[in-house]
Chain A
Amino acid sequence: MEEKEKGEGTQKLSRRDFLKSAGLVAVGAAAGAGITYGLTPKPTEEGVEVAPKEGEPAPKEIVKEVIKYQTVEGVLEPAFEEELSVIRGTSAMGFGRDGMPTRVDVKNGKIVRIRPIHYADEGYGPEYMKPWKIEVRGKTLEPAYDKVLITPLGLSYKKRVYSPNRIRYPLKRVDWEPGGDPAKTNPQNRGKSKYKRISWEEATTIIASEIKRIQEKYGYFAILAQGDGHGEGKVVHGPHGCQTQLLRHMGPDPQSSYTVQVRVADSWEGWYWGGKHVNGWETTGTAAPQANVTWDIAQNCEMLLISTDPETTTWGFNQQFASRVMYWLSDIGIEQVYITPDLNYAAAVHGDKWIPVLPCQDGALYLAVAYVWLTEDTYDKEYVATHTVGFDKFADYVLGKEEGDPEGPKTPEWAAPRCGVPAWTIRALARNWFKKKTSIVGFMGPGMRGTYSTEPCRIQACVEGMQGWGGPGRHRYSVGGGLPGRAGNISFDTTLVKGEPAPARGLEEHEVAQDYFRPHQYIRKVDIHEAILNPPIKWRGTGSPWMAASDQAREFTYPIPKEQGGTEIHMIWTDTPCWTTCWNGGNKYIQALRDPKIEFVLTEHPWMENDTLYSDIILPTTTRYEEYDISAGGGDVWLVNNCIAPVGEAKTDYEVSLEIAKKLGLEEKYTWGRSVEDWMKYAWDTREIEKKTGMTWEEFKKKEFLALPFDPDWKKKLEDKPGARGFYEDPVANPLKTPTGLLEYESTFIKENFPDDKERPPVPHWIPEGETHQDNPLGERAKKYPLLCQSNHGRWRVHAEHDDIPWLREIPTCKIKGPDGYMYEPIWIHPSEAEKRGIKNGDIIGMYNERGMVLGGAYVTERIRPGVAYQDHGARVDPIVDDPNLPQSEWIDRGGANNLICPEKTLSKNCGGQVGSGFLVEVKKVDIFALKEKYPEAFAREYDPASGLRFSSWVEGGEL
């Protein structure tokens, strides 16, 4: 082709010129080695000189083939400068688990790019990986053996690392003093007062002395450790729970040393508290048998009913392989039907049919489906006779024969106004479901986060049984479930031998569930605000995802009896400061944090966000890019080699507790006498990786990456009985984990333990409202608050994470720019609802109920059905009004953190899940400029539309 002319003596290079000049002046890799930034400290982005950390090796020298080129002018151009490359996972799972490894290229101490691993480039080509390959109806599916299918959340993470919102140094609230005197702790000013910089020395001295003081005055249980939930996949530098590794050494025994917050089944509460009483999917309630299910679905299933979003929900934790599977399932002719209030991101591209149901009202829909089958005699009677108990009672209820049932027969006409789906479409759904072999996608599905979400989940599980769950093409399906995997998996998250520590130095969340490990005094995460504001409290069931159904009958109290050391909490030590924007009733939680009995709130976190604003001392922690560690996930293991220097004065969570341990004289106990590298080696050794793979520790440290090949016996796995086929074929020989071993349409457990529970009765019921909640869209409160708020897991966040990433915030469904320049969290409403309220696309609107108001940008769209206001959960709290002297109903949040206004009570009286969605609200236009005039202080915070609030907005003199 025509060669465009070249300027004389310029830096423009054609490929030919480039190669020519390269040949002339190339300098070999060996000569290039040794001049990387790491060996001699170089300025970080902040301009701080940072030496490699003590006891850790200096960053490695360049081992990759990097050739230095000069330009024709003899000056090294930026494009040809050397880059150092290290490996990082991008999973936001936490719990010591990681995944989605990437190459991180670094230049001059700064991250250049984050790019997916290519296995062949790491020395693990297809001939080593030996991927499986399956073919159905002429279309093939293979695993992503060539490269990691990174998600946008991991890809954009450089901006999270360098966020202007990073906490740069330890901070103390300006009007808080240690000692517990309410006149000096000023608890009412948490979330109002600013912070000032202090040194690590001062911070750790205060913290150590406050811990001692509070323990001596009130007892060991007076300190609440909040260290659970999702986060960066780290091992030694566990993102959550390092404080418990210190606190547990302080009391008479580890279980009498602190009060722990127990994370409850979140995001699938309806299945945990409800569904598993039908189908026994222990322990999480979502553990439907997945063995070889994809293969069976591909061959036998004709229709998928999907009530979750496989294009979103998995992003924080898994690759985008589910997307490929969904395209493949369409390619082989399996119909995808989405039963969701929103045209979610999967429905938008994969959907063949969208049935827009009202949020969390699916129970009525499925009851009517059962009604059609019962009255048309189109269900699997033989299966029901042999595989279920209590079916007659369920059938009576559906047919309106239950004594005293005011609802009558659950006809499609009965269901239509309740669930928002026309009767004719319900009938069509029932008929198609009977005619076509159908599987269900979505344990996250019907109303799993709504009020009384036990019921729609149980009802769906009952209906599933009526067509012979476990039979050919009839499964509960996690997209991609049961496909062949790698030959083994390596993870560092759990203790292998009781008494021996897990390599992951965070809270051993699985074990906190266990009675032998969990501190004797604990509070469920859903009850923290109640425990502080209205003690004593009582509840049934720990709620931990790792507990069997029988646990739900156990009774607990807080505080535990005095003679057992019980005391109210007076200090909170959190490394999980996202309660306000992730849990049930954030505004109430803010009130709890301001209770005078809470003398000290200590927060450690990389970013100034959410609960962090309500602290007394704040410690800056690192991201995974600033650490030295080992990590694993998805059949890969990698060295988390030094990448960049910590931002500001940040320390890892492991180091934070270590610094405090030093002040308390507990360094040796905290570390077990081990260095960071010792822990990494411990991880390697206890998993016997050398024995499994032949790779030595030294080789691993040099190579930095180890991929396990795919299972060589994968073809045999395709002969496995898929899913619940064993139960389907012989329920006696292959019982479920329910008390009877059968599908329980009447729950034995609930009947025995909660026979009179009107909110979770033995036979599942349609419960639009009750003692605990009144969020019935046809009920009294709906006159004032006529819309149901739907709040999904964010497409562009993992819960509270990633909210400050500018490149995500530019995406139209991530943030909406208001006329004031602020980037608002979108609230989706249908054009018909917008018109009624005079709302136009892009307007700033408020979503509100008695519990307060959160703002958002109106996203007027056909992607949401009428009757709904949809806003993803997890946006960053930015209070305009949270004045303790004003009623909560007058509180306003600008960030759109709608958990602030969701119900404070759990999903029903005896079920400790949260209601983060499916609650009543109204929306209205908001005059932002009037608010600005009224609340100038809130609007004066330094704000950057690209990333949101900045660190400096809460810190005196906190310039970047």
Chain B
Amino acid sequence: MKVFIVDTTRCNGCYNCQIACKDEHCGNDWSPYAKPQPETGQFWMKLHEYVRGNVPHVKMTYVAQMCQHCEDAPCMAACPVEGGIYKREDGLVVIDPKKCSGCMNCLDACPYGVIYFNETLHIAQKCTGCAHLLDKGWKEPRCVDVCPTGALIFGEESELSERFGAGETLHPEFGVKTRVAYFGLPNKRFIAGTVYDPKANEVVIGASCTLTGDGGTFTQETNHWGDFWFKDLQPGVYTLKIEAAGKTKTIADINAEKDIGLGDIPLE
């Protein structure tokens, strides 16, 4: 049984995965596995990018998203054609391009939105895990083959079980069991800032920062840049209290529904 691992903490955002998928599938007919993907506009492998925070406390996270090859795939259940969407022995879920009737039920059924409708061919299409290549002896699909950093991994579940088991499911709230394990999903928030003394024009190092809010209470000291970075926070509203050398400052109502960079904070 095959599984994917997506480690966003190793993704440099080069988009090779998305491009290789297109190189393989746009304009190339891999019947009986898949018909050609339209030249543009559809992404059987799609990289999503998130710019997080505010100048100068900004980070990016890229999340590669393709068919999750669910064990209990909602698309299969929704397909009215017998064998129209099938699961291979290796666990990959494939839409049969010849059987697909174009009813689009699977597009509605897929909670991840990774199934596309090919208007020209009048069929639903998605990631096949490059099954046509695996059957030729390839060890990995194209997206994984071109990943320069090991952010994408593909292989036998038995060999990857430990790492696979430690990962997260993309959108666990969908309640499906997927064959893709994620690391570093941007589902937590950060609150960051730089504390400085406006009289001395110096950053304040070692200021005590206490963050209180929906996700709990956290404390930190500002570092050698005068920075604090509270990471891995539950989204929610927080209050920050900064203390150093008898001075205090409180910032209330920090809405960390998004990641927040508070910029340069004078401690007066």
Chain A interface residues toward B at CB < 8 A? 1-7, 10-16, 18, 71, 77-79, 112-116, 144, 147, 149-152, 155-156, 158, 311, 319-321, 323-324, 327, 343, 345-346, 348-349, 351, 353-356, 412-413, 422-425, 427-428, 431-432, 435, 806-808, 810-812, 830, 861-866, 945-946
Say yes or no: B89 contacts A16, CB within 8 Å: yes
Say yes or no: A156 contacts B23, CB within 8 Å: yes
Say yes or no: A862 contacts B53, CB within 8 Å: yes
Q: Which residue of B lies closest to A421 (CB)?
A: B56
Q: How far is the CB of B20 from chain A (nearest CB, A)?
A: 6
The 4 closest A-B pairs by CB, nearest first: A11-B32, A320-B148, A348-B60, A149-B148
- Which residues does chain B contribute within 8 Å of A320, judged by CB atoms? 12, 14, 148-149
Kindly supply a per-residue 1/0 record for chain B positions 56-98, scoring 1 wherever the CB is within 8 Å of any chain A CB and 0 otherwise: 1111101000000000000010000011001111110010101
- Which residues does chain B contribute within 8 Å of A808, judged by CB atoms? 15, 19
Q: Which residue of B lies closest to A866 (CB)?
A: B55
Q: Which residue of B lies closest to A946 (CB)?
A: B40
In the bound complex, how far is the Cα of B82 from the Cα of A794, in angstroms? 49
Is B256 part of the binding interface, using a Cβ–Cβ cutoff of 8 Å?
Answer: no
Say yes or no: A152 contacts B99, CB within 8 Å: no
Question: Mind listing 11 A-B residue pairs with CB under 8 Å?
Answer: A4-B76, A7-B83, A14-B89, A116-B145, A158-B23, A349-B59, A412-B201, A424-B203, A425-B225, A807-B23, A810-B40
In the bound complex, how far is the Cα of B149 from the Cα of A760, in angstroms? 43
In the bound complex, how far is the Cα of B86 from the Cα of A944, in angstroms? 37
User: Which of A78, A343, A812 is in CB contact (< 8 Å) with B29?
Assistant: A78
Is B178 part of the binding interface, using a Cβ–Cβ cutoff of 8 Å?
Answer: no
- Which residues does chain A contribute within 8 Å of B194, judged by CB atoms? 424-425
Say yes or no: A323 contacts B148, CB within 8 Å: yes
- Which residues does chain B contribute within 8 Å of A150, judged by CB atoms? 16, 146, 148
**Given A7-B99, A15-B90, A422-B196, does the pair A79, B32 have CB atoms closer than 8 Å?**
yes
**Given A151-B14, A324-B148, A424-B226, does the pair A5, B56 have CB atoms closer than 8 Å?**
no
Kindly supply a per-residue 1/0 record for chain B positions 1-25, scoring 1 wherever the CB is within 8 Å of any chain A CB and 0 otherwise: 1000000001111111011101110
- Which residues does chain A contribute within 8 Å of B49, judged by CB atoms? 812
Say yes or no: A865 contacts B146, CB within 8 Å: no
Considering the complex, which residues of chain B in the window 36-56 have a beta carbon less than 8 Å from any beta carbon of chain A? Answer: 39-41, 43, 49, 51, 53-56
Say yes or no: A351 contacts B59, CB within 8 Å: yes
In the bound complex, how far is the Cα of B76 from the Cα of A5, in angstroms? 12
Scoring A5, A356, A422, A431 by chain B CB atoms within 10 A of each residue's CB, the highest score goes to A422
Say yes or no: A348 contacts B82, CB within 8 Å: no
In the bound complex, how far is the Cα of B55 from the Cα of A830, in angstroms? 9
Q: How far is the CB of A165 from chain B (nearest CB, A)?
A: 15
Is B247 part of the binding interface, using a Cβ–Cβ cutoff of 8 Å?
Answer: no
User: Which of B1, B12, B13 is in CB contact (< 8 Å) with A1?
Assistant: B1
- Which residues does chain B contribute within 8 Å of A14, judged by CB atoms? 88-89
Kindly supply a per-residue 1/0 record for chain B positions 86-122, scoring 1 wherever the CB is within 8 Å of any chain A CB and 0 otherwise: 1111110010101100000000000000000000000
Is B142 part of the binding interface, using a Cβ–Cβ cutoff of 8 Å?
Answer: yes
Say yes or no: A79 contacts B225, CB within 8 Å: no
Q: How far is the CB of B79 from chain A (nearest CB, A)?
A: 11
Say yes or no: A152 contacts B31, CB within 8 Å: no
- Which residues does chain B contribute within 8 Å of A810, judged by CB atoms? 18, 40-41, 43
- Which residues does chain B contribute within 8 Å of A114, judged by CB atoms? 23
Say yes or no: A79 contacts B31, CB within 8 Å: yes
Say yes or no: A424 contacts B202, CB within 8 Å: yes
- Which residues does chain B contribute within 8 Å of A2, judged by CB atoms? 87
User: Which of A4, A422, A863 is in CB contact (< 8 Å) with B58?
Assistant: A863
Q: How far is the CB of B190 from chain A (nearest CB, A)?
A: 13
Q: How far is the CB of B25 from chain A (nearest CB, A)?
A: 10
- Which residues does chain A contribute within 8 Å of B54, judged by CB atoms? 862
In the bound complex, how far is the Cα of B196 from the Cα of A412, in angstroms? 14
- Which residues does chain A contribute within 8 Å of B227, judged by CB atoms? 353
Say yes or no: B22 contacts A807, CB within 8 Å: yes
Is B135 part of the binding interface, using a Cβ–Cβ cutoff of 8 Å?
Answer: yes
In the bound complex, how far is the Cα of B39 from the Cα of A945, in angstroms? 12
Q: How far is the CB of B186 from chain A (nearest CB, A)?
A: 12
In the bound complex, how far is the Cα of B263 from the Cα of A354, in angstroms? 12
In the bound complex, how far is the Cα of B26 from the Cα of A596, in angstroms? 47
Say yes or no: B201 contacts A423, CB within 8 Å: yes
Q: Which residue of A lies closest to B23 (CB)?
A: A113
In the bound complex, how far is the Cα of B82 from the Cα of A12, in angstroms? 12
Say yes or no: A327 contacts B99, CB within 8 Å: no
In the bound complex, how far is the Cα of B86 from the Cα of A422, in angstroms? 60
Say yes or no: B203 contacts A348, CB within 8 Å: no
User: Which of B14, B135, B197 is in CB contact (< 8 Å) with A18?
Assistant: B135
- Which residues does chain A contribute within 8 Å of B53, judged by CB atoms? 862
Q: Which residue of B lies closest to A354 (CB)?
A: B56
Say yes or no: B1 contacts A323, CB within 8 Å: no
Q: A11-B98, A345-B13, A862-B261 are in contact. List 16 more A-B contacts (CB 8 A).
A: A7-B96, A10-B99, A11-B32, A12-B98, A12-B99, A144-B148, A149-B148, A155-B16, A323-B12, A348-B59, A348-B60, A424-B201, A425-B225, A425-B226, A810-B40, A862-B54
In the bound complex, how far is the Cα of B100 from the Cα of A10, in angstroms? 12
Q: How far is the CB of A859 from chain B (nearest CB, A)?
A: 10
**Given A425-B203, A807-B22, does the pair A3, B89 have CB atoms closer than 8 Å?**
yes
- Which residues does chain A contribute within 8 Å of B58, judged by CB atoms? 343, 348, 354, 862-863
In the bound complex, how far is the Cα of B55 from the Cα of A412, in angstroms? 20
In the bound complex, how far is the Cα of B91 from the Cα of A3, in angstroms? 10
- Which residues does chain A contribute within 8 Å of B91, judged by CB atoms? 1
Q: Which residue of A lies closest to B259 (CB)?
A: A862
- Which residues does chain B contribute within 8 Å of A321, judged by CB atoms? 148
In the bound complex, how far is the Cα of B49 from the Cα of A861, in angstroms? 13
Scoring B14, B43, B53, B86 by chain A CB atoms within 10 A of each residue's CB, the highest score goes to B14
- Which residues does chain B contribute within 8 Å of A348, judged by CB atoms? 13, 51, 58-60
**Given A311-B12, A345-B13, A807-B22, does the pair A77, B149 have CB atoms closer than 8 Å?**
no
In the bound complex, how far is the Cα of B154 from the Cα of A892, in angstroms? 49
- Which residues does chain A contribute within 8 Å of B168, judged by CB atoms? none
**Given A158-B23, A862-B53, does the pair A432, B33 have CB atoms closer than 8 Å?**
no
In the bound complex, how far is the Cα of B145 from the Cα of A115, in angstroms? 8
Say yes or no: B148 contacts A4, CB within 8 Å: no
User: Which of A5, A78, A149, A806 is in CB contact (< 8 Å) with B39?
Assistant: A806
Q: How far is the CB of B89 from chain A (nearest CB, A)?
A: 5
Is B132 part of the binding interface, using a Cβ–Cβ cutoff of 8 Å?
Answer: yes
- Which residues does chain B contribute within 8 Å of A15, judged by CB atoms? 88-90, 135
Is B28 part of the binding interface, using a Cβ–Cβ cutoff of 8 Å?
Answer: yes
- Which residues does chain A contribute within 8 Å of B205, judged by CB atoms? 428
Is B30 part of the binding interface, using a Cβ–Cβ cutoff of 8 Å?
Answer: yes
Q: Which residue of A lies closest to B204 (CB)?
A: A424
Say yes or no: A349 contacts B142, CB within 8 Å: no
Is B264 part of the binding interface, using a Cβ–Cβ cutoff of 8 Å?
Answer: yes
In the bound complex, how far is the Cα of B148 from the Cα of A323, in angstroms? 8
Say yes or no: B146 contacts A155, CB within 8 Å: yes
Say yes or no: A156 contacts B135, CB within 8 Å: no
Q: Which residue of A lies closest to B1 (CB)?
A: A1
Q: Which residue of B lies closest to A151 (CB)?
A: B14
In the bound complex, how far is the Cα of B89 from the Cα of A863, in angstroms? 45
Q: How far is the CB of A388 from chain B (nearest CB, A)?
A: 28
- Which residues does chain A contribute within 8 Å of B14, judged by CB atoms? 151-152, 311, 320, 323
In the bound complex, how far is the Cα of B51 from the Cα of A317, in angstroms? 28
In the bound complex, how far is the Cα of B18 from the Cα of A348, in angstroms? 19
Q: Which residue of A lies closest to B85 (CB)?
A: A4
Q: How far is the CB of A785 from chain B (nearest CB, A)?
A: 22
In the bound complex, how far is the Cα of B58 from the Cα of A35, in angstroms? 57
- Which residues does chain B contribute within 8 Å of A343, judged by CB atoms? 51, 58, 60
Say yes or no: A356 contacts B31, CB within 8 Å: no
- Which residues does chain A contribute within 8 Å of B148, judged by CB atoms? 144, 149-150, 319-321, 323-324
Say yes or no: A5 contacts B261, CB within 8 Å: no
- Which residues does chain B contribute within 8 Å of A149, judged by CB atoms? 148
In the bound complex, how far is the Cα of B16 from the Cα of A319, in angstroms? 12
**Given A12-B32, A155-B16, A311-B12, does the pair A327, B55 have CB atoms closer than 8 Å?**
no
Scoring B11, B87, B224 by chain A CB atoms within 10 A of each residue's CB, the highest score goes to B224
**Given A156-B19, A810-B40, does the pair A12, B145 have CB atoms closer than 8 Å?**
no
